[in-house]
Each structure stands twice: as C-alpha cells, then as structure tokens.
Amino acid sequence: MRFRFLIPAAALLLLTACGNADTQTIDTLIAQQSEADASSAAPNSDAPAPTVPVPDSANGEYDVDLTTLESNMVYAQVYDMVTNTDNYKGKRIRVRGTFNYYQNPDTKREYFAVLVNDATACCAQGIEFVLPDSYKYPDDYPEQGTPIEVIGLYSVYTEDDQPFVELQNASMTVLP
C-alpha cells in the first residue's frame, strides 16, 4: 500500500524539477544555439560559391583541390561546379574519382570522365576531361572504374544547345 503513493509522488517531484530556473536557462540556451546553427546553415544566395582555394596555380598549385575534402564535401563541390559554371571558368582543378568512358553511337564522339561518389556511393557526379591528342582509347586509358586523379583547366562547352563541363589540357594519373 505504501508503494501506491510513492510512485505518483515521485512522478510529481520529477515534473516540478523540470520547471526550475536552471533547466529553463539550459532550455533557453539550447534554443538559442539551435537558432544560431540554423541561421548559419541557411544558404545565402548572395554568398559566393564555396571553393577550396589554393594560393598560386602558376607554381603547380590548384585553384580548386578536391583531393583534400571528405567524400560528401567533394560530391557537393563537384555538384556546385557542374551547376554554377561561371564561378570556375579558367580555374585549375584537381580531382580524384573513378575513370569512366562513353562513346556516342550516333556521332562516334568519345567522352572521358572522372566520377566522384558521395559517402554512401549511391550518387555520383562526373567531370569530363580532355587529355592531349596523343592519347588513344583504349590503349592509353585504364579500365572503367579504375581510381584516377585528373588535373586540368575548367571549361564549359555547348553541345546540342546544352552546356557541359570539362577539364581541358588535362593530365591523368592512375591511382593504386
């Protein structure tokens, strides 16, 4: 019988403890921090596109080095490069991913790309690249799916009235 009153009394005590000044202050601080995090995470359409700048591309450095980012950030950066092309034109880009090849059956034009997956490998963004004319497929290229690193100058071209991104004057290294 004594326990029958102990449980409701304990519950009442716990409920009143939640409303004290210390926990209200903590709740307020948590709410303020959540608001601050949300406002800093909100996209700002006036802000420049995020890039990973490197000081001097003339001395073997890169304007955008995607090899230093973790997989979700690389995927997001490549997506930005494909959708906000004006921010990257003429920049020297360094990227790692897997080699991919496609030949248009109608025009016989060949396309070479480095594919970058997100962290879960469910989504991929590709950047086309163009090696010097002396390279011939398949002799001078790895098998599809092979890890590669590509360095080249970001450019945009139009085909069938659609803009496409490519890295011109590119170099490709097969990774272990």
pLDDT at 166: 96
Residues 53, 93 contacting (CB under 8 angstroms): no
Please state the domain extents for the chain: 2-41, 57-174
pLDDT at 54: 35
Global pTM value: 0.64
Q: Is 139 left (phi over 0), alpha (psi -120 to 50) or beta?
A: alpha
User: What's the confidence (pLDDT) of residue 51?
Assistant: 34
CA distance 20 to 147: 58
Q: Phi and psi (nearest 5°) for 28?
A: -65, -45
Does domain 57-174 fall under CATH 2.40.50.140? My reply is yes
pLDDT at 69: 86
| pLDDT given at position 35 | 52
Which pLDDT belongs to residue 15?
A: 37
Largest Cα–Cα separation, the chain: 93
pLDDT of residue 61: 81
pLDDT in tens, the chain (176 residues): 444 443 443 333 333 344 444 444 444 444 444 454 444 444 444 444 333 333 344 445 889 998 888 877 887 888 898 889 999 999 999 999 999 999 999 999 999 999 987 777 777 788 999 998 889 999 999 999 999 999 999 999 999 999 899 999 999 999 99
Per the CB < 8 A criterion, the answer to whether 52 and 69 are in contact is yes
